[in-house]
A and B are shown apart, each in its own frame.
Chain A
């Protein structure tokens, strides 16, 4: 029996067109989805429960709009859904502190999260929380087995490492060979009716702030050459400018 918590984050649809208006990304017309790596974390958490028994709680931080990702997790089978209520844009430090404070309250024994969020891409939440809790931490795991304990596979220099992890631990999940289950409509309908446990806590102020967003510079137009005479020039450019040969 394990008390399992999975951290989920709402991010802009990864297929959406990102527009910067003024000096900020304009997400008003963009659909929000669960960060794709978090889906692997939810699946792994559910597999953990199925192997050892216990309960899975999905936890997020955000405004009421973030309930959608919790309900998505509920639809495929998590037991409880909890949201730390905060509309503020938090930096990693403030966010990890806030989540950590609630984790103890939830009595978590093992925590799963995505290896990084699809929007910020920082990858610091898992290790940061483990640091605060003083727990074991494994990142970027590509497969998990529950034969007696928890055994994960994570990339290491020049290959993969098979690592035995003892609880309590924080495990961040990569895509690997984890196949995420799909909700059936019955699950979706029941999830819609599920109640979100909203935690109101005081959140510390961020110590860093985003000054502005900007689009990456447009790719310069490609060059084209015709005929055999240009071959020497093409070879030179590939070697000196593109650095590919």
Chain B
């Protein structure tokens, strides 16, 4: 039969109809993509053109390989079918639009067959994926989709179904459809022998569906078809949760405070966000995985990480004329995010970890905090109570280099009587951090850590009153200036004393000193978490093998596990964990203290630690091991709130208890009278 494109429809030839259809839909699509790109490119500069090898690799695994999408086996699997299906079938569009000129004239004969098979497979798996997706949405509706409009999602799926089904009929209508290379088309031809009318109708339905799709893509979450690729390619390659200094010099290092010369701080306007941060808005697929794992959202606070990302795109569209004209809209982006949301984030990065297309939710919030904390210094009424204790903490950090406001000269007092070097060179410097220096419960962790290190015969010292706060809380709270001041002071101390290896029992110190200080100096200093050192010493035989205790579970601190990437050492250090908390490892749920939340007021009915405590209690374990002073406090409080008798112990406490028990057993054995034969 004649190709539908070569037919005439009344006075109009088919090709003219297609040309008009294509020009309208394609033109609209292009216009919208250009508009979105312009709205992205007015963002602040950000050098993401480094490290091409690693970026390409990530595109292969993360975009083509759908690595993160597949973290959700069902939804991810369905997505892979449609994603790969579309990649495979996409070139058929050229063939359909050129009345088979593409396959018959452009493709070499030897390629045509396999090409047909690829396209055919593409249509087939896209159809399977599409049916599965519809089934998931309509029949097995996930909790997060219930009560929400399914119209857009379902309509798109019906479109995809139309595109795939009609393609088989069109194939069947082609002369010489090959049962080898186009088995389904051939089967349709054999069994249904579609009439010319049906083939022609299918062809135009197919083209119409594609055109509709072109309209819908830029207006819906399906813009991710365009923006996911750049989002993955230009993703942040630094270690997770490493924040950006106020300014970088030509050498790539942070500009030191004395040389710093900047006029504005953080994000208040849309254009203060970097262009890569802005792409997120259009790349978001609304899968809501971030919302599912967010401790703020789960505890009923105003923050929904997905909404923050939607806010970026909606704000841009609402104000597109002003933004593209270089004007500043009346409402700033902070007002759009909402201060309650901005101050609710624990910076646990569960959202970032969960996102299949590498969206960075957290910097948008912490950059907004920077503006509020360093420049505006005025807070919305809705957050005044939340912020009040944080402001007192900031003052304490400024005056005494600890959040509690206790005298800085008392910082090393916890080590009294421990026979440890103070502020002098030693192979290992134990950086106690504020909590273990001043908080009674956590001082014991510091003392036990030192005892364990000395037991292994290490040359160990502390910095005593010369140690200062690492600055983690100041940084996450948005006071970057204070953070940098604390960092520069500590780095000067490290240099003066000749610090080479630092051991921290606080994962926030571990992260800040180990990853973030590198921008300011001290590149050669090795920083480890105490669980890593303990585990290493056990493996080397410098400490006895840990004793396995089946009644102990372990709560992964965000900044050690998900962010720090260390999941095994703390478990190995205490002899392995049999009963895991349901959300553990990289999927661990925050205790509620991170992101300077430790120092903010939290509504009694929105406590993150209570949610976590329930999850911990559900394991039925007798003891929960922790590796973070803030987790220790939050989990203990949470367990009390739910009347659980479970014990909370730091890794170091458990290890030191085991060593002491071991020593006592040996002593008892020695002291026992030697049995002699009568």
Contacts and interface: CB of A to CB of B under 8 A. Distances in A.
Contact of A186 (B265, B399, B407): B265
A16 interface: yes
Given A17-B407, A186-B375, 6 more contacts: A15-B408, A185-B481, A186-B263, A189-B261, A189-B481, A192-B258
A15 B407 contact: yes
A38 to B, nearest CB: 16
A184 interface: yes
B674 interface: no
Contact of A184 (B263, B375, B407, B480): B375
Contacts of A189: 260-262, 481
Given A13-B399, A15-B400, A185 B374 contact: yes
Contacts of A185: 265, 374-375, 479-481
Interface in A145-192: 182, 184-186, 188-189, 192
A188 B262 CA distance: 11
B377 interface: yes
B38 interface: no
Q: Which of A13, A33, A184, A193 has the most CB of B within 10 A?
A: A184
Interface residues of B, number: 20
Contacts of B260: 189
B409 interface: yes
Interface string B258-276: 1011111100000000000
A95 B261 CA distance: 36
Contacts of A182: 377
25 contacts: A13-B399, A15-B399, A15-B407, A15-B408, A16-B407, A16-B408, A16-B409, A17-B407, A17-B409, A182-B377, A184-B375, A184-B376, A185-B375, A185-B479, A185-B481, A186-B265, A186-B374, A186-B375, A188-B481, A189-B260, A189-B261, A189-B262, A189-B481, A192-B258, A193-B261
A79 B610 CA distance: 51
Contact-size category for A: 10 to 19
A91 B264 CA distance: 44
A193 B377 CA distance: 21
Contacts of B400: 15
A109 B120 CA distance: 91
Nearest to B376: A184
A220 B542 CA distance: 47
A126 B298 CA distance: 58
B377 A184 contact: yes
Interface in B110-161: none
Interface of B: 258, 260-265, 374-377, 399-400, 407-410, 479-481
B291 to A, nearest CB: 33
Contacts, number: 35
A181 to B, nearest CB: 9
Contacts of B410: 17
B408 A184 contact: no
A193 B262 CA distance: 12
A74 B400 CA distance: 22
Most interface-central of A185, A189, A193 (chain B CB within 10 A): A185
A182 B373 CA distance: 11
Nearest to B405: A15
A153 B262 CA distance: 42
Interface string A1-40: 0000000000001011100000000000000010000000
B311 to A, nearest CB: 25
A16 B410 CA distance: 10
Contacts of B409: 16-17
Contacts of A193: 261
8 closest residue pairs by CB, A with B: A185-B374, A17-B409, A185-B481, A184-B377, A15-B407, A186-B375, A184-B375, A185-B265
B399 A184 contact: no
Nearest to A14: B399
Nearest to A185: B374
Contacts of B479: 185
Contacts of B481: 185, 188-189
Contacts of B480: 185
Contacts of A16: 407-409
A206 to B, nearest CB: 31
Interface string A182-219: 10111011001100000000000000000000000000
A188 B258 CA distance: 11
Nearest to B377: A184
A96 B481 CA distance: 37
A189 B481 CA distance: 9
Contacts of A15: 399-400, 407-408
A189 B259 CA distance: 10
A40 B472 CA distance: 31
A16 B408 CA distance: 7
Contacts of B375: 184-186
Contacts of B376: 184
A184 B377 CA distance: 7
A33 B395 CA distance: 13
A72 to B, nearest CB: 11
Contacts of A192: 258
A198 to B, nearest CB: 20
A15 B479 CA distance: 23
B434 to A, nearest CB: 15
Contacts of B258: 192
A192 B260 CA distance: 10
Contacts of B374: 184-186
A62 to B, nearest CB: 21
Nearest to A19: B409
Please indicate which of the listed interface residues B264, B399, B410 has the most CB atoms of chain A within 10 Å of its own CB: B399
Nearest to B466: A29
Contacts of B408: 15-16
A204 B578 CA distance: 79
B639 to A, nearest CB: 35
Contacts of B261: 189, 193
B388 to A, nearest CB: 13
A189 B246 CA distance: 12
Nearest to B485: A188
B323 to A, nearest CB: 25
Nearest to A182: B377
A15 B409 CA distance: 9
Contacts of B263: 186
A33 B258 CA distance: 19
A63 B262 CA distance: 29
A188 B399 CA distance: 15
A35 B212 CA distance: 72
A16 B465 CA distance: 11
A185 B264 CA distance: 9
Nearest to B410: A17
Contacts of A13: 399
